[in-house]
Chains A and B, each alone.
Chain A
């Protein structure tokens, strides 16, 4: 898909990316800006970096709230809380609008203004406190607190998560290791090498010889709650949900969580990475003169939905004695990996 950017000026390519990839448009736009600026040796200022981090954080919060308030409830037969989600989206759109100026290539200094993400976070904490976040973040300290929260809280979200836990309790342990974080050394080394020589890497990436899981569970693998749930449960579904709650709670506590970076591979050639709601997003831009000579994108969905990736391996391990149970388990599994496209399920009988 990135082929459409070849031949464009770097600034034009950066403007095109968010339009093409609308669902995670801010993360995509920031990744494109970082890759193209690094390739053309433009160093962004602190105010630009902060505004971009706010865009990525606000977009992650938006995606997580959509999952938690709408997709997860519907996966277990509940209507979801569209009123609360609509109110939260109203707040988030203010934050996203306020930092929008930082999206482009080498943004114009004359249009800068302060991001409203800090104010919006405070409002979101108030908005979500009663129904959704009741008992959080204390319940995210470890598995004991988390299980107690699931059992006793009035939070509607806890009730939904408890149903995910119950349905996923008999699902098998997966065989796909977690993707390690991208660092400048990894990006300039092995990642650049794979992008150079492996024509399949963008569409079906693997690492150290095996497909990997990317996303909140990979990022939070050392968090006490996520680590304990991963160790003790037979399915990764609940740890994935818990990892998203951990990240959302941190975002709302005003901890800077945006993990973005870029590094030059060689003159005119750079890689950027942005940790998004669905996992790591990688952009590689090669610029000759002032135009894009090569552009590569590795999206998080390509890791998790790799033909031998997390979804495939865990689907193969699914067992159920009746169709209804099988359908519920498939839905929960797919939701836990958060595809960015509509999906359908067809069951064949062996």
Chain B
């Protein structure tokens, strides 16, 4: 299914850059979003950069993908912790899952 992974610019030039994300290192074409500084986050589709992400957005997406991997491993507990800004807190959610749950994107 159409998953996208956040990639971080390691080195590169105007047309493309070596980017790393979730254990992958790929040459990403930057022509659609323009040159990006080292450390910038982006999402690519078939090795063409599609959009620039803020550090917060990249963190949220990485955390969501961690959650997906945890679910695929069969873990069922604590999955809310992977979506801290999206999952509404409820009285039965243990307090330790609510830490760091301050800002909301949506």
Contacts and interface: CB of A to CB of B under 8 A. Distances in A.
Interface of A: 1, 3-4, 6-9, 11-12, 15-16, 19-24, 28, 66, 70-71, 82, 85-86, 89, 104, 297, 299, 301-302, 340-343
A82 B86 contact: no
A341 B106 CA distance: 27
Interface of B: 1-4, 31-32, 43, 45-48, 60-61, 64-65, 67-68, 70-72, 76, 79-80, 82-83, 86-88, 90, 106
A4 B67 contact: yes
A342 B45 CA distance: 7
Contacts of B70: 4
A19 B3 contact: no
Given A9-B88, A70-B32, A299-B2, 19 more contacts: A4-B67, A4-B71, A6-B71, A8-B79, A9-B87, A15-B86, A15-B106, A16-B64, A19-B60, A20-B3, A20-B68, A22-B3, A23-B2, A28-B2, A66-B45, A85-B32, A104-B106, A340-B1, A342-B46
Q: Which of B47, B60, B71 has the most CB of A within 10 A?
A: B71
A305 to B, nearest CB: 11
15 contacts: A1-B68, A4-B68, A4-B70, A4-B71, A9-B88, A11-B88, A12-B87, A22-B3, A22-B4, A23-B2, A70-B48, A85-B32, A297-B1, A299-B2, A341-B2
B45 A16 contact: no
